[in-house]
Structure 1
Amino acid sequence: MNNQSEDEFLQDLPLILAGPILQHTEPKSVTVWVALKQPCQVELKVYETINNGTVLGNSLLEGRRSTVALGKSLHVVAVTAQSTGRECLISDRIYAYDLLFTNQTSHQQSLQQALCSNRFPNVNISYFEHQKPTFVLPPSRLQDLRIVHGSCRKPHGDGFDALPILDCLIEEAANQPEQRPHQLFLTGDQIYGDDVAAPLLWVSSMLGDALLGWEERLPVTQNKPRDASYHTPKQLPPGQRVEVATYQAGFTAGLHNKEAKVASHLLGLGEYYASYLLVWSPVCWPTTFPRGREMMGGSKTRRLWDREVREMRQFIHTLWKVRRALANVPVYSIFDDHDVSDDWNLNQAWCLRVLGRPLGQRTVQNALLAYAVSQAWGNTPNQFAAGQPGEKLLAAAQDWSASQGTDIAAYNAIARYVGMPPTNPRTSLPEFVQDGAVLVLERHPEALTWHYTVRSHCHEVIVLDTRTWRGYPADDKPTAPPMLLCPQAFEQQLSLPLQQTPEIQATLVIAPTNLFSLKVIDWIHHWQLRRDKVFAADVGDSWNIHTEALAKFLTTLFEQRQQVVVLSGDIHYGSVVRMSHVGTSSNSQAQSVLVQLTASAMKNEETITRIIHTRLKDWILPEKVRRWSGWSNPLNMVEQKPRESRRDRQLQMKPDWYCALEWIPRQNTRKPYFGANIPWLITTKQQARNDKWRWLQRLMFWKFPWFQEGREVVGLNNLALVQFELADASKPHKAIQDLYWFSPWYPTQIVYSRFDSQLVPNQSLYWLGSTSKLEQ
């Protein structure tokens, strides 16, 4: 792209720009997402296999759908194959699928032909000789279930990308239906709209314009009459977007002396579209990057550019494994803030600041449209069927691009279907509606719902949208922490799904932001809240900052389930915590347990997370058991202070329930069979640098395996594999999370840490089973 015109660059690319990505998969329907450079009708067929995936059998499911023209050279489809008769996919079997592409002149390309071009002559997205991607449904037995999850994947983040490890996990057990991963859940920050590397924005801007075939006119404020009222993305170059992102769009990521976070913020629709193609596929990346001296002004920014280019090259180097993995396991996702921008909908102040500005509103809408067509379509394909809001959104997106960004009716329709709040004509601020004691951003009745539930014979996964259904306190200041789910959202997203399958073996809930984090993080959040610097540390994103909402979350869950597993991310470390819960009334003395499995980040480790990864955290600030008293009317919970006197407890109204939180220790590091001296991980230049400085390894005591054996968290880039162990044939006994990461003592080695938590309340906690002890 650097030395080629846009047309020449696109001509060198294969038909498939990104994908195929296997998405929502059920016994009678399978959905596959793909992005193409030309319009096509795409036909999907799902086949049974013989000899555990090695030989293709009969076609079982079929479907076809035409692509949606999101731009002149960007045509996207999530095609669903369905059963035409009694055919039905079953558990514990390997299935394969194939795609056929027919263009407007009736010319056809097979999947293999569509993957290849002169620049990419050999592309393999299969683990078998037949070269077709494969998958398995969740098993019939819970103890055979394998779920992978992860979050926070920033292309220029520190450390190696952990998502390629998924390819290793699938490849290791490709012909073993009970052992290979059955589902992947991406729990937030699949892309970063803020904190974008300058070279990545350079690629995204050029690629976005090439894909759209037109330049978007972004609305900016006129400070002087002669100032332009619109700018195209190319007129806002990398490294020079601090002013426009912070003060024209209103984004908060650059506040508190963090201008670098927004210096290359995504703004244009094409940039958001391009970001998804770039994080999931190596196809659209240029072969060469310009040098820092050609792109940036100062010596510091030039050096930063060159360093980020090296990081991009390392990221691109392993993307082929990411692409193959995503084609061979059902992928489900939900957004968090960085999929739009840091602090997205954090509190009412953020909504007023950003959604009250034309550029802020346009950018959020661009991000949501890109998420809808790149992720939500495959999560919930029924919403995009004929006559549904999703299909209307696709039509509006097509009209908006065909008009080159001038069709106001199409723009307004996009806003309606992605759930953008209407703007008050008098104040130019977003509209809110009352929901009990909180305010919620108003949304059109036909707006897409981003939350959903996935079920199998043995488990259910309830995926929460904790960003667009927040409840902002009506009688508090705009920066006050919100309910992450307003009362209406609790009913729709949690209560109703829990009522549908009471006999399910395992219930998992996806909560993109943590219910509970490290104690020191809570201290920082409360300190920043008192200083009203809520944007500095995402104050309000953790559930336990708003105790009434957390109490409602726990009581809603435990009214229907006694064992719950929560999958979470966001926090840039991996861990496992267990909450034991017991009622006090004679009518309700049930004991329940919630286990939170956190996996973060896939690629965004930081200095502080590297420190807490080690034994140093255990020595200086170990996590202790935390206890709460809770009440049902009104809902609330209060943490018991370690030095709280017996008299203080007796003065409180008798609690309706108690709960206690403990951190599950990580076991000693293990080595997977595929993890030693892996040749695919690093580039040739990186290998040469490693060899040059390997003699220093013996002097770096902090990288020694013994020092890296921390007790509570994995603070390096990681990916989680979740399994269950049963005590008997019906009741789950243990939830096991294996966190895979790259060893610092030998950089081309993958290791994993096991966290093993019983799915029963901890009877050793002094109050459990006899609440009177607490009151004595």
Structure 2
Amino acid sequence: MVLAGPIIRRAEAGRLAIWLAARVKTAVRLELFPPAEDSLTVELEPDDPDMLWLPAGTHLHYLLIDLQLHCDLPKEELISYRLSLRAPDPEGAGKRWLVHTDWAPDICYPGRTLPFIRIPNKVSCVMHGSCRKPHSPCGDGLVAADRMVEQSLKAQVSDIDTDGEAQRAADEDTSPSMPELLVLSGDQVYVDDVAGPMIEAITALIECLDLPDEDLPGIQSGLPQSGHDLMEEGGMLYRRDQLLPKIDQKASVFDVLFGGTRKPIFTSQHARNHLLTLAEMLAMYLLVWSPTGWTLLPDRKAPNGLSGKDRRMYNEESAEMDAFVANLSKVRRLLAHVPTAMIFDDHDVSDDWNLSLAWEKAAYSHPLSRRVIGNALLAYGINQGWGNRPQTISEDLKDAFRQALEKPGTDAHEAAIDEILDYQKWDFEWPTDPPLIALDTRTRRWRSERNSHFPSGLLDWEAVTDLQARLRNRDAVLLVSAAPIFGVKLIEVVQKLFTTLGKPLMVDAEYWMAHPGTASAILNVFQHSNTPRHFVILSGDVHYSFVYDVQLRNARWSRTGKADQDPEIWQICSSGIKNKWPDRLIALLDHGNRWAFSPRSPLNWLTKRRGMRVVPRKPVGTAHGRRILNASGIGIVELSDDGSPIRITQVTSDGDVYPFEPREGEARLD
């Protein structure tokens, strides 16, 4: 009955936001069981104002619950909940409620019969990561995150010991505490980089759920013209680049928009299975967040007609997909317990999305590429964006969702895309302590005034001004930026070189310091006297993990000599959840960066770092000289009461734990 979810999006004392995808239009009953307090029961019908019902097909219905509670829930307690759905009763024999044991029997952790939420007074432990590509040849960091929650629960039980031994063990324990937030900072799905077996699964699930067909505009005659035509062609495995049209006699939209996949560290074939229709993208989300959709599909077998090279790729991808699917029940369990914030990056829509003004002109001026981008944003809005700030989703945007889902491929669909392309509230703030602020670094960009092919700044002036206003008079902040604000300098130099040569798409030349206006503006935010003392920046995007302690020189110098007014900044990058770089290449760049741009290097004075000191932390347990960790996993940040990090750790998908520790006694200026 339930295809995916429940996913706990926001959990506050007076508010709960829960995402759910079901096979039928149904009522929902939510029961909350606070310890030592009376239980609370709420029943929601599909037309209830506290639940947004979005029908997407005969057998796909989104139930987006945004519940305003009449009395506050207790904090620092495990609050069990039971989510029930009313089953269809054709005989009219009365209500029959199906609980999680009926549709997700493995959703609870060992020793518990109900899922739970926990609302902290202060955030003390955050999990974060980005870049989860299902067929990447590495483990899934969300499975490691689930394992961490399970271990934390076991540790809490073992702490109940009358002789005090458990308490002494807890005092000596170095494992992370119970996480209170999960932050996913981009590329939760890869719309542009899809495995052949995933395309087949998506196609089969669309048919199973009876999702409506969609005519695709701007495709040359003789090629598939709709989602149904694609299905008739077996999904056009590894051949979808043929559908992308020419924009002139010399260059194709594929070259302009997706040329970014042609990089030295990637193959040139990643965009050959790019998703196109809205139904495909909706199905993708169901298949990466839950095992249920996979149980509805026929057994997989390699299709006929593949070349030898493509057949080998298909078989390799099949093995990776089997391992990915085998652990999806643990991913669903994690998301049913830990409030999860999500913000997009490029692959949630398409590689190098809005990289430059030239990219935008090429993308939005052609009907097919515009449709693909619009579909990806609609799917993002329903599956990710809604839960970040449900209270601000306007009626116009809700209507856009409904129109696109009900009449894909029509003028109503195009009007919905107009609405979502104009939407300017993808960034968000959560009222945690410290507050969590996530930046929209994709749709509010500062376009280059020098050259339309140069990368745009990640935030325009207005967005930076809005950020500064949000930060005023705060003591600390958890700031989510998909791309690191302070990145690995040697890699940024390479990106700058390719941009100068007119090839920014070759290397994903998207970093904060690439645009002079954005770089100056964001540094001014850190230096402003009324912005926080403690900045914890959570980032991803780059497919490797690192931690920098950043100190700005004389940032807030005062005539009174109060040196303690300078901001403390921690740039923490955890990437990818299921993606990584080639080991030899990242090792070479890591050693080169440490040699060229160490804290004492005079080369720093030739960069924007001349006004700061950036000290990399050592991932303990890695080889000598390494400051970058190249392994899929999940990042853990444990915070003190003042919002500064106590401990920063990366837990790999294999279960290895790498603390990032300061070295060389250089984390602060003397």
Superposition TM-score tier, normalisation by shorter sequence: 0.7 to 0.9
CA shift in 2, pair 1:371/1:361, >3 Å: same
5+ residue gaps, structure 2, are 47-52, 158-175, 247-251
Q: Which amino acid aligns with 2:99?
A: L
Q: In the alignment, is residue 291 of structure 1 matched against residue 301 of structure 2?
A: yes
Residues 546-596 of structure 1 show CA distances to partners (whole Å, capped at 9, x for unaligned) of 243122112213311222110000000011012101337655964222110
Aligned partner of 1:154 in structure 2 is: 133
Aligned partner of 1:718 in structure 2 is: 633
SS of the residue corresponding to residue 376 of structure 2 reads helix
8 Å CA contact retained: 2:24, 2:59 = yes
Instruction: Give 1:396 deviation, angstroms.
Output: 3.4
8 Å CA contact retained: 1:735, 1:756 = no
Instruction: Give 1:78 deviation, angstroms.
Output: 1.6
Q: Which amino acid aligns with 1:394?
A: K
Instruction: Give 1:606 deviation, angstroms.
Output: 2.9
Q: In the alignment, is residue 449 of structure 1 matched against residue 425 of structure 2?
A: yes
Instruction: Give 1:210 deviation, angstroms.
Output: 3.7
Aligned partner of 1:533 in structure 2 is: 503
Match 2:38 to one of 38, 46, 58:
58
Aligned partner of 1:377 in structure 2 is: 386
Q: Which amino acid aligns with 1:641?
A: L
8 Å CA contact retained: 1:242, 1:259 = no
Instruction: Give 1:303 deviation, angstroms.
Output: 1.2
CA shift in 2, pair 1:291/1:340, >3 Å: same
Aligned partner of 1:437 in structure 2 is: none
SS of the residue corresponding to residue 311 of structure 2 reads helix
Match 2:545 to one of 533, 555, 574:
574
8 Å CA contact retained: 1:735, 1:757 = no
How far apart in 1 are the matches of 2:596 and 2:32? 51
CA shift in 2, pair 1:65/1:593, >3 Å: farther
8 Å CA contact retained: 1:219, 1:229 = yes
Aligned partner of 2:30 in structure 1 is: 44
Instruction: Give 1:352 deviation, angstroms.
Output: 0.9
Instruction: Give 1:194 deviation, angstroms.
Output: 1.0
- TM-score, structure 1 length as denominator? 0.74
Aligned partner of 2:339 in structure 1 is: 330
Aligned partner of 1:365 in structure 2 is: 374
Residues 135-150 of structure 1 mapped to structure 2, 5 A cutoff:
135-140=117-122, 145-150=124-129
SS of the residue corresponding to residue 185 of structure 1 reads strand
Q: Which amino acid aligns with 1:415?
A: I
Instruction: Give 1:61 deviation, angstroms.
Output: 6.8
Residues 223-238 of structure 1 mapped to structure 2, 5 A cutoff:
232-234=229-231, 235=233, 237-238=236-237
CA shift in 2, pair 1:736/1:127, >3 Å: same
Aligned partner of 1:119 in structure 2 is: none
Aligned partner of 1:622 in structure 2 is: 594
Q: Which amino acid aligns with 2:386?
A: W
Question: 70-79 or 584-593: which moved more?
Answer: 584-593
8 Å CA contact retained: 1:99, 1:111 = yes
Q: In the alignment, is residue 604 of structure 1 matched against residue 579 of structure 2?
A: yes
Q: Which amino acid aligns with 1:666?
A: P
SS of the residue corresponding to residue 383 of structure 2 reads helix
CA shift in 2, pair 1:733/1:595, >3 Å: closer
Q: In the alignment, is residue 92 of structure 1 matched against residue 48 of structure 2?
A: no
How far apart in 2 are the matches of 1:249 and 1:398? 29
8 Å CA contact retained: 1:18, 1:280 = yes
How far apart in 2 are the matches of 1:530 and 1:594? 30
8 Å CA contact retained: 2:127, 2:181 = yes
SS of the residue corresponding to residue 253 of structure 1 reads helix
8 Å CA contact retained: 1:242, 1:254 = no
CA shift in 2, pair 1:197/1:29, >3 Å: same
Residues 445-504 of structure 1 show CA distances to partners (whole Å, capped at 9, x for unaligned) of xx3511111122x3111100000000112x322111212111111122x122213xx254
8 Å CA contact retained: 1:196, 1:264 = yes
How far apart in 2 are the matches of 1:642 and 1:192? 35
Q: Which amino acid aligns with 1:112?
A: H
Q: In the alignment, is residue 556 of structure 1 matched against residue 556 of structure 2?
A: no
SS of the residue corresponding to residue 294 of structure 2 reads coil
Q: In the alignment, is residue 740 of structure 1 matched against residue 645 of structure 2?
A: no
Residues 506-548 of structure 1 show CA distances to partners (whole Å, capped at 9, x for unaligned) of 3110000111222331222022112211111111x11022243
Q: In the alignment, is residue 127 of structure 1 matched against residue 113 of structure 2?
A: no
How far apart in 2 are the matches of 1:172 and 1:627? 38
How far apart in 1 are the matches of 2:595 and 2:203? 45
Aligned partner of 2:205 in structure 1 is: 207
How far apart in 1 are the matches of 2:242 and 2:177? 51
Residues 221-258 of structure 1 show CA distances to partners (whole Å, capped at 9, x for unaligned) of 44x6x777656432451111122247475463346485
Residues 189-268 of structure 1 mapped to structure 2, 5 A cutoff:
189-222=187-220, 232-234=229-231, 235=233, 237-245=236-244, 247=246, 250=254, 252-254=257-259, 256=262, 258-268=267-277
Q: Which amino acid aligns with 1:751?
A: D
SS of the residue corresponding to residue 551 of structure 2 reads strand
Q: Which amino acid aligns with 1:665?
A: K
Question: 296-305 or 23-32: which moved more?
Answer: 296-305
Aligned partner of 1:462 in structure 2 is: 437
How far apart in 2 are the matches of 1:619 and 1:491? 37
How far apart in 2 are the matches of 1:448 and 1:524? 32
8 Å CA contact retained: 1:135, 1:328 = yes
SS of the residue corresponding to residue 721 of structure 1 reads strand
Q: Which amino acid aligns with 1:659?
A: M
Aligned partner of 1:774 in structure 2 is: none
Residues 53-76 of structure 1 show CA distances to partners (whole Å, capped at 9, x for unaligned) of xxxx63247462523101221100
SS of the residue corresponding to residue 262 of structure 1 reads helix
Q: In the alignment, is residue 484 of structure 1 matched against residue 458 of structure 2?
A: yes
Q: Which amino acid aligns with 2:511?
A: S
Instruction: Give 1:736 deviation, angstroms.
Output: 2.1
Residues 590-669 of structure 1 mapped to structure 2, 5 A cutoff:
590-608=565-583, 612=586, 622=594, 625=597, 641=603, 658-668=611-621
8 Å CA contact retained: 1:216, 1:233 = no
Q: Which amino acid aligns with 1:94?
A: L
Q: Which amino acid aligns with 1:159?
A: C
CA shift in 2, pair 1:25/1:624, >3 Å: farther
CA shift in 2, pair 1:761/1:82, >3 Å: farther
5+ residue gaps, structure 1, are 1-14, 51-56, 117-122, 421-442, 629-638, 650-654, 670-706, 743-748, 766-776
SS of the residue corresponding to residue 520 of structure 1 reads helix
Instruction: Give 1:195 deviation, angstroms.
Output: 1.5
Aligned partner of 1:773 in structure 2 is: none
Residues 327-385 of structure 1 show CA distances to partners (whole Å, capped at 9, x for unaligned) of 0110110000000110001111111111111110111111011111101111112124x
- Percent identity, please: 27
Aligned partner of 2:170 in structure 1 is: none
How far apart in 2 are the matches of 1:517 and 1:368? 27
CA shift in 2, pair 1:100/1:642, >3 Å: closer
Root-mean-square deviation (Å): 3.0
Instruction: Give 1:666 deviation, angstroms.
Output: 1.7
Residues 299-342 of structure 1 show CA distances to partners (whole Å, capped at 9, x for unaligned) of 11111111111110000111111110110110110000000110
SS of the residue corresponding to residue 70 of structure 1 reads strand
8 Å CA contact retained: 1:32, 1:79 = yes
How far apart in 2 are the matches of 1:229 and 1:160? 37
How far apart in 2 are the matches of 1:622 and 1:400? 50
Q: Which amino acid aligns with 2:454?
A: A
CA shift in 2, pair 1:40/1:204, >3 Å: same
Aligned partner of 1:428 in structure 2 is: none
How far apart in 1 are the matches of 2:424 and 2:595? 41
CA shift in 2, pair 1:266/1:230, >3 Å: closer
How far apart in 2 are the matches of 1:752 and 1:41? 43
SS of the residue corresponding to residue 567 of structure 2 reads strand
CA shift in 2, pair 1:393/1:569, >3 Å: same
- TM-score, structure 2 length as denominator? 0.85
8 Å CA contact retained: 1:592, 1:761 = no
How far apart in 1 are the matches of 2:5 and 2:643? 36
Q: Which amino acid aligns with 2:527?
A: F
CA shift in 2, pair 1:227/1:156, >3 Å: closer
